[in-house]
Every structure is written in structure tokens, then in C-alpha cells.
Amino acid sequence: MKRYKVGYTTGVFDLFHVGHLNILKRAKEQCDYLIVGVSTDELVMEYKNKKPVIPFEDRMEIVKGIKYVDKVIPQMNRDKLSAWQHLKFDAMFVGDDWRGTHLFNEIEKKFNEVGVELVYFPYTPGVSSTLVKEKIKI
């Protein structure tokens, strides 16, 4: 029996790579049902000030095709408590590169109040969409 019934994670999932796959696999190992929020192009522009290489609809389809994922939804904002109110997940999974950031310190406080666990996974070293973009330029 898995530790959580419903798990949730989010991401841009641009230039899908093994780091993305690792977080989805690890999340699914801990929950019966995994919901993945894929950031819209507009949201990515808002907080990263850059447009993803792969269009939103294509990124949604790529994530839907991963065997560890049970449901894919658009992530239109970064309000994780609102997502929980709608989806009622038991745990949210995130890379440990977010640990200690202002955003996730606040999310952790709010989740503690409603009984949701925030689970950090080790970041896959040497892999990111930014690094893939840099390698392509060579």
C-alpha cells in the first residue's frame, strides 16, 4: 500500500528530460493517483519572463503520455492551496531546489494547517531545460 492516496506535482515540463521523468516516477511510487499540473505559457511568462520552447498543448500531451501520470491539468497560477481546495490531494511533490524558498516556505505553512504533506525529492544533478537549451546552442 502506498503512503498517499492522491499526489500532486507541477512543472513547466519544457524540453522533457530525465529530471522530469524522475520526479514523476518518484511521486507515483508514493501515491495511488498522481495529478500533474502543467504550467501554461502565460504563467511561465509571468514568473520566468520567458516563453517555453514547447507549446503548452504539446507539453500537456507529453505529460499525459507518461505511464506514471493519472491525470494532467493546466496550472494557470501558482496558488497551491487553491489547487488543493479543488483537487484534495494528500501530498504535493516538488524538487528540493525549491526547499527554503519564500514561495515554498509559505506553501508549507498553509499545507501544514490542512494536513497536506510537502514532499521534496532530490534534484537530478546536471539536468535542466535551461542546460538542454545551452547545449543545443553549441
Query: Which residues are annotated as catalytic?
Result: 48, 50
- Structure letter (DSSP) for residue 65: T
> Which one, of 51, 27, 46, lies nearest residue 37 by Cα?
27
Written as one string, the DSSP assignment of 117-138 is EEEEE---TT--HHHHHHHHH-
> Strand, coil or helix: what is 75?
strand
Grid cell digits, residue 72? 494532467
- Which helix (DSSP H) or strand (DSSP E) does residue 113 occupy? helix 102-114
**Which amino acid would we find at residue 52?**
P
